[in-house]
Amino acid sequence: MAASSAAMNANALRSKIDKLLHSPPSFPCRRGVLNLPSNAFTKRSSVCQRRFRGVGVVKSSATTAESEVARELATGAGEEGRILRVGVICGGPSAERGISLNSARSVIDHIQGDDLHVSCYYIDYNLKAYAISSAQVYSNTPADFDFKLESLAQGFQSLSEFVEHLATSVDIVFPVIHGRFGEDGGIQELLEKSNIPFVGTQSNECRTAFDKYDASLELDKQGFVTVPSFLVQGHALEETEALTWFTKNNLDVEQGKVVVKPARAGSSIGVTVAYGVTDSLRKANAIISEGIDDKVLIEIFLEGGREFTTIVLDVSSGFDCQPVALLPTEVELHSHSNVDSSEKDVIFNYRRKYLPTQQVAYHTPPRFPEDVIRNIREGASLLFQRLGLRDFARIDGWFLPPSAHTAYLTGNKFGHLESGTIVFTDINLISGMEQTSFLFQQASKVGFSHSNILRTVIQHACLRFPGFHQYSAVSSPSLRKKHSETNRTLAKHQDRQKVYVIFGGDTSERQVSLMSGTNVWLNLQAFDDLEVIPCLLAPRNGYSSSMDSDKMDLGVSSRAVWCLPYSIVLRHTTEEVLDACIEAIEPVRAALTSQLRSQVMNEIMEGLKKHNWFTGFDISDDLPKKYYLDQWIKQAKEEGATVFIAVHGGIGEDGTLQSMLEAEGVPHTGPGVIASKTCMDKVATSLSLQHLEADGVLTINKDVRTKEDLLKIPPLDIWHDLTSKLRSETVCVKPARDGCSTGVARLCCDGDLAVYIKVLESCLARIPPNSLSKAHGPIEMPVPTPELLIFEPFIETDEIIVSPQISSGNAHDLLWKGNSRWVEITVGVVGKRGSMKSLTPSITVKETGDILSLEEKFQGGTGINLTPPPLSIISNEALEKCKKHIELIANTLQLEGFSRIDAFVNVDSGEVLIIEVNTVPGMTPSTVLIHQALAEEPPMYPHRFFRTLLDLASHRSL
């Protein structure tokens, strides 16, 4: 996320926060707490049980959405003691608010239950608070979320009004705002002033720990090794002072390598490498001028060090502190020779932390000497205690082996060992809680599922607030989901239905496949009657793309499939999952992991066993198991399992895997062999639908060419021939048989075609941004390159522009001229063969370029999904006709289970111009299919949606 998107100057924002926090509250304090410390609570008065009544609601045209918010706000406000009401607050002014939305999704997915009700709230960039429905949290991106905010949320006139609402509507707040206002003590002080219980560290301690400069001073004071740093705040004498600092630390004033980072911008935002005094000050002042922060650190670059991070869990009985560090994770960074020059300095930046990349891998526990691991855990626990942290936190640092240069790390302090030096550098008060985050990776290594660790953190926070003894959820073994995961793995039941979720493969969409499979697996965990086993389809040879079925490797049945234990699934890339499997079965490594795991579990149990709400660990210490694909299928047959296919492209989508499963009578999700083969081949798809033109289903003219022919004929000659045959001056090129988005580009001239052909000839993995004549983002290419390519007219649609603000306030507006009357849609279809039902179509607004990238579609990068399409663009009548045409397409192609259809629609007639059909569509947490399922009446939440797809597969006739 570009740091420059932070439009508000750091000083102005901080002044606004201070004003909001320190102005007198405009509502009465609650009875019985005025003379108590801010972290002490008495029994709540009856006012706490009031239902939500008008809070200055922003008028909205989405009446149904408003009603859903109001229903959610009112739920759980009835009889005292029935349920624990948790208020999840996400968003915030930081550039990390997209990660905050992802964290909120995970929290909601894993804590909601009959005994615990979740209400959701959002703080926008201007610190305006909204009550939102939990359905809205599944919006794709911050831009998508913000665009829908005014019409789908109920706004508060002030933070004071927001806090007054929280005081009467929730029992405890779980802040998941990352960075500014979430981890700097802002939201915490707001809650403290009103005596509202919350999860996490108190405001004063947050302020010290969040500020990297202040935290370093405090760590030094507490006896920890720290890295020398220089503070930049934009004054005139800094160049002289910086020269002195460089010289003092034996750094070359021209080329001395340092890290420049904001002191108060959260995790990884704005962090960069610099060389020498001039470069360092230039980059520091750029951070200040861009409004990221007005306080910047220059630190010595830790050459030869190995980065780690560790989650610390408080297992005390309330006001005391008994921290236990989980198993640390080593962050291994890879520098590849073919990376951009901007990436030559390998640091653990924002993109590497949150998006799939082969430039980073994680090892839990770290590959450090045992005494180093022990001292990391001991030091992190000690730091947690001395800084007054609460409930949980993530602490980052570096291990410097004896060979590293550490002369500048002087003094007799904690961290100096014979094996090397341990340096703690960053403290994260609200660790990221995405599905594969460090919190869940490390918790699963010591026996906690996602649900169990989150509920343990919430329950522990409740201990600090005596008023909670009135709630049965706190004083009994409650806080368990209706579909509890406890002992699910440790005590397997024979009567549960086996489900194999398979993902991975070797196409360019393999990382999206991992995200999809992980999301499906975690959501299906919610059902007691299922035993869900995640499985990785390992790459065949390197990481190649799909190939023609007649050229498919004859040894497909010998492809490896790994059945994975819980903790190994939680990775960012398929390569990392495979490496973790191999590492886990290495005898010495497995023995060390088991030993460390037992040690940590004993420490946790020692603290938590006194609480009757802690029901124990629910993840066993299993090892991964490797099968050949044909063995794996036979195993599925013997166990009566259903296979949930989440392998995008390749053998997962071209009918190969479906054919092998059906040959053994194993039920699977999605269409069968014939439909899969047809839809994977975009030409065959068009041919199958050509006869439907009179029924309102249109197809696009196509010209198919081989890679060999493209390399032999001059690009100018090919271009003239293409534009003449297709009758179009602009052409779209795409692989004939590959998944969506891969290798798809808009060509506007013969020069663009020449660039594309050169990429094919050079077998490049991607086309760099803006390599073609019209602006575009990175275009992922199939590897190896496809042998057949399709050229078709580029369909011009009227641009839909999102206006950031309109005169009435912060709301966004749509600008659409509607000249061509065609817009692009994507829509899911669900059901049995012959009776497929169309979900509500979505119009996707592209923020940049003409072709949606993989990142835009699946990884929460950019993009706004309009679900349902606005009436200002398409009428209900035309939309219903569109849905009928989509259902006609689905049933003509013999689709079943579920698929996603991409098309253009005429907003007047509802006619549909087909683009492609994806029989294994993306199923990531932010996928548009989730939005469409939530638009159903009643809304279908992710776990129920995936269960519906599974049930359709289980009952299909093969």
C-beta neighbour count of 749 within 10 angstroms: 18
Please, what is the angle between helix 673-680 and helix 682-689, to 10°?
Answer: 110
Encode burial over 29-39: b for 16+ CB neighbours within 10 A, e otherwise: ebeebeeeebe
SS3 789: strand
Q: What is the pLDDT of residue 18?
A: 55
Phi, psi (rounded to 5 degrees) for 638:
-60, -35
- Is 150 a residue whose pLDDT tops 90? no
DSSP 135: G
Q: What is the pLDDT of residue 350?
A: 44
Nearest to 137 by CA among 152, 125, 151: 152
**Cβ neighbours for 720, distance < 8 A, ≥ 6 positions apart:** 750
DSSP string, 339-393: S-GGGSS----HHHHHS--TTEEEESS-SS-HHHHHHHHHHHHHHHHHTT--SEE
Q: Where are the alpha helices (DSSP H) in 27-113?
A: 63-74, 97-111
Amino acid at 532: V
Q: What is the pLDDT of residue 163?
A: 97
Phi, psi (rounded to 5 degrees) for 914:
-75, 135
The Cα 841–Cα 826 span in angstroms is 6
In contact, 882 and 822? CB cutoff 8 Å: no
The Cα 844–Cα 800 span in angstroms is 9
pLDDT digits (tens, 9 = 90+) for 422-460: 999 999 999 999 999 999 999 999 999 999 999 999 999
The Cα 218–Cα 552 span in angstroms is 61
**Cβ neighbours for 345, distance < 8 A, ≥ 6 positions apart:** 272, 273
Cα angle at 266 between 264 and 267, to 5 degrees? Answer: 135
Q: What is the pLDDT of residue 958?
A: 59
Burial classification of residue 303, based on how many CB atoms lie within 10 Å of its CB (0-12 exposed, 13-18 middle, 19 or more buried): exposed
Calculate mean pLDDT across residues 739-768.
Answer: 89
Residue whose pair of structure tokens reads 């086996």 in the numeric block: 498
Taking the alpha carbons at both ends of the chain, their separation in whole angstroms is 47
The Cα 319–Cα 40 span in angstroms is 10
Calculate mean pLDDT across residues 863-888.
Answer: 92
Phi, psi (rounded to 5 degrees) for 766:
-160, 155
Phi, psi (rounded to 5 degrees) for 345:
-95, 100
- Is 545 a residue whose pLDDT tops 70? no
DSSP 57: P
Burial classification of residue 863, based on how many CB atoms lie within 10 Å of its CB (0-12 exposed, 13-18 middle, 19 or more buried): buried
Burial classification of residue 876, based on how many CB atoms lie within 10 Å of its CB (0-12 exposed, 13-18 middle, 19 or more buried): exposed
For β-strands 323-325 and 329-333, DSSP reports them as unpaired
DSSP string, 15-44: HHHHHHHHSPPSSPPPTT-TTS-TT---PP
Q: What is the pLDDT of residue 815?
A: 80
The Cα 423–Cα 934 span in angstroms is 46
Q: What is the pLDDT of residue 192?
A: 96
- What confidence category does residue 542 fall into, taking pLDDT thresholds of 50, 70 and 90? very low
Residue whose pair of structure tokens reads 């549909």 in the numeric block: 912
Q: CA neighbours within 13 Å on the CB side: how many for 87?
A: 27
Q: Read off the pTM.
A: 0.86
The Cα 298–Cα 273 span in angstroms is 9
Structure tokens at 290: 């861009």
- Is 270 a residue whose pLDDT tops 50? yes
Q: What is the pLDDT of residue 816?
A: 84
In contact, 917 and 687? CB cutoff 8 Å: no
CA distance to 279, 814, 877, 907, per residue, from 871 (Å): 53, 11, 10, 10
pLDDT digits (tens, 9 = 90+) for 388-432: 999 999 999 999 999 888 888 877 789 999 999 999 999 999 999
**Cβ neighbours for 943, distance < 8 A, ≥ 6 positions apart:** 109, 523, 524, 526, 527
Query: Averaging pLDDT over each range in 145-159, 195-209, 546-560, 809-823, which range is the top one?
Result: 195-209
DSSP 73: H
What share of the chain in percent tops pLDDT 90? 62
SS3 279: helix
Provide the mean pLDDT of the chain.
83
pLDDT digits (tens, 9 = 90+) for 776-804: 878 888 877 888 999 999 988 877 877 65
- What confidence category does residue 247 fall into, taking pLDDT thresholds of 50, 70 and 90? very high
Q: Which helix (H) or strand (E) segment is 944 a member of?
A: helix 942-954
**Cβ neighbours for 499, distance < 8 A, ≥ 6 positions apart:** 524, 530, 531, 532, 533, 641, 642, 643, 644, 950
Q: What is the pLDDT of residue 505?
A: 93
pLDDT digits (tens, 9 = 90+) for 762-779: 988 889 989 999 888 788
What share of the chain in percent tops pLDDT 70? 80
The Cα 825–Cα 797 span in angstroms is 11
The Cα 754–Cα 118 span in angstroms is 55
The Cα 777–Cα 853 span in angstroms is 7
The Cα 117–Cα 108 span in angstroms is 9
CA distance to 672, 700, 804, 876, 906, per residue, from 798 (Å): 36, 18, 19, 20, 11
- Is 57 a residue whose pLDDT tops 80? no
The Cα 87–Cα 131 span in angstroms is 10
Nearest to 456 by CA among 622, 604, 619, 620: 604
**Cβ neighbours for 429, distance < 8 A, ≥ 6 positions apart:** 182, 183, 200, 201, 206, 209, 210, 389, 393
Phi, psi (rounded to 5 degrees) for 79:
-60, 130
pLDDT digits (tens, 9 = 90+) for 64-97: 444 556 555 555 443 444 689 999 999 999 888 8
Nearest to 776 by CA among 848, 825, 717, 884: 848
